[in-house]
Amino acid sequence: MLDRDHLETFATVVEQQSFDRAASVLNITRGAVSQRIKALEESLSIILVKRERPVAATQAGEVLLRHVKALRILEGSALQELSPTARPHAPVALAIAVNADSLATWFPEVLRELLLSQLVALEVIADDQDHTSALLARGDVIGCISTSAKPADGFFAECLGAMEYRCYATPAFAATHFPGGLTVPAVLSAPAVLFNRKDSLHDDFLKRHFGFAVERYARHYLPSPVALLEGVAMGAGYGLIPSWQARPLVDAGQLVDVCPSVLEMVDLFWHHWDLEPPMASDITALIVKVARRSLEPSARFDPSPMQAGEPARPTPVHKAKPKGSGSGQEASEHQ
């Protein structure tokens, strides 16, 4: 049986990305931290920590880190269940990764219920939806919203629905830069507003519209959904914005759709552990419920569960096959 002190020390080292900071958090010496990590590695006959700056978990360490976080959630859930009214115990610390556009639109309803429950001490890590799954694989979070339909080994991916994006600009900007519509010369001369350098949504939109890639256009990078919307609304450029977020400005006549014939539908998936502790399972259920009520139904992924004996097809829940298992049709990853 693994020593719990050793496990907590290992997790703290990885979370703090430093032996020295972990020692300070745990109120023990750095030497004691090193001894505990060494004892844990020797008991498992495997290296768990990359001793570099910053400190990081090895692939085996990522698996163990998920185990430690599951233990913390299980213990916290048990303590709260044993004393449900007095609440003498601290909230359970956990982290999830959410794409910024979800945070700015439908996800606040999830946050409200989680935060007001006072059961969790929640860390939300915001990132582009194409890059959140790496946080889950490393054990940094217990779940993430991603555009990938394919889960990693040991995880589930549930389809939440699709977020609709349209290309907006102010009426004045559209009249000045797109008098003849969204043409290649106009796109090359008009500044676009993007979230950040990892944001490929605008490139995907232009490729869908023109039938070929357009890359050499001017860009503003505003890494906040609110800032991006305000940048477009002030007339600094044009850009892809969730229709839900832009609707009040469209209704007020402050924004117009510069390309009504083309929209981007981005399928979103909630990735989470295969075997979830009860509290994590409740969080998954809440996120799925709110998302499916708020987002558009996915056109690519059937919301109904697959029936026994039914041919393999894209469904909202996909379980990763163990390495070395037989092949089967899998849902393609959203690009």
Residue 324, in any domain of the structure:
no
Q: Assess whether 178 and 215 both reside in one domain.
A: yes
The pLDDT of residue 306 is 27
Q: Assess whether 123 and 198 both reside in one domain.
A: no
The pLDDT of residue 87 is 54
Which residue in 267, 304, 262 sits closest to 102, CA to CA?
A: 267
Domain boundary, last residue among 61, 85, 109? 61
Q: Is 296 exposed, middle or buried (0-12, 13-18, 19+ CB in 10 A)?
A: middle
The pLDDT of residue 320 is 43
Q: What is the pLDDT of residues 3-13, one digit of tens each?
A: 999 999 999 99
Q: What is the pLDDT of residues 52-69, one digit of tens each?
A: 989 999 989 988 998 888
Q: Assess whether 147 and 293 both reside in one domain.
A: yes
Distance CA 61, CA 48 (A): 4
Residue 328, in any domain of the structure:
no
Reported pTM: 0.76
Angle, helices 4-16 vs 59-82, to 10°: value is: 110
Residue 180, in any domain of the structure:
yes
Residue 317 CA, distance from chain mean position: 16
Which residue in 125, 120, 137, 123 sits closest to 100, CA to CA?
A: 125
Q: Assess whether 93 and 224 both reside in one domain.
A: no
What's the number of CA atoms in the CB half-sphere (13 Å) around residue 292?
15
Q: Assess whether 57 and 144 both reside in one domain.
A: no
Contact present, 77 and 279 (Cβ < 8 Å): yes
Amino acid at 301: F
Q: Assess whether 243 and 179 both reside in one domain.
A: yes
CATH value at residue 127: 3.40.190.10
Q: Assess whether 151 and 168 both reside in one domain.
A: no
Residue 222, in any domain of the structure:
yes
Q: Assess whether 231 and 274 both reside in one domain.
A: no
Total tally of structural domains belonging to the chain: 3
The pLDDT of residue 34 is 94
Distance CA 184, CA 110 (A): 41
CATH value at residue 20: 1.10.10.10
Contact present, 120 and 92 (Cβ < 8 Å): yes
Domain boundary, last residue among 203, 235, 265? 265
Exposure string (b/e) for 86-105, b if CB count within 10 Å is 16 or more?
eeeeeebebbbbbbbbbbbb
Low-confidence ranges of the chain (pLDDT < 50): 304-335
Please spell the DSSP secondary structure of 315-329, one letter per residue.
Answer: -SEEEPPPTTPPP--
Sequence-separated (6 or more) residues with CB below 8 Å from residue 102:
129, 145, 163, 268
The pLDDT of residue 5 is 93
Contact present, 210 and 184 (Cβ < 8 Å): yes
3-class secondary-structure state, position 211: coil
Residue 98, in any domain of the structure:
yes
| DSSP letter assigned to residue 272 | E
The pLDDT of residue 129 is 63
- What does DSSP say about strands 219-221 and 192-194: parallel, antiparallel, or unpaired? parallel
Strand partners, 156: 272, 319
The pLDDT of residue 321 is 39
Sequence-separated (6 or more) residues with CB below 8 Å from residue 285:
none
Question: 139: domain range?
Answer: 76-161+266-304+312-319
Which residue in 151, 137, 135, 156 sits closest to 60, CA to CA?
A: 137
The pLDDT of residue 89 is 64
Q: Assess whether 153 and 270 both reside in one domain.
A: yes
Residue 242, in any domain of the structure:
yes
Residue 332, in any domain of the structure:
no
Distance CA 140, CA 94 (A): 9
Q: Assess whether 35 and 169 both reside in one domain.
A: no
Residue 71, in any domain of the structure:
no
| DSSP letter assigned to residue 55 | -
Contact present, 228 and 249 (Cβ < 8 Å): no
Rounded to 5°, angle at Cα 241 from 237 and 244:
140
Q: Assess whether 22 and 38 both reside in one domain.
A: yes
Contact present, 195 and 100 (Cβ < 8 Å): yes
Structure tokens of 310?
């039914």
Which residue in 98, 199, 84 sits closest to 142, CA to CA?
A: 98
Q: Assess whether 232 and 280 both reside in one domain.
A: no
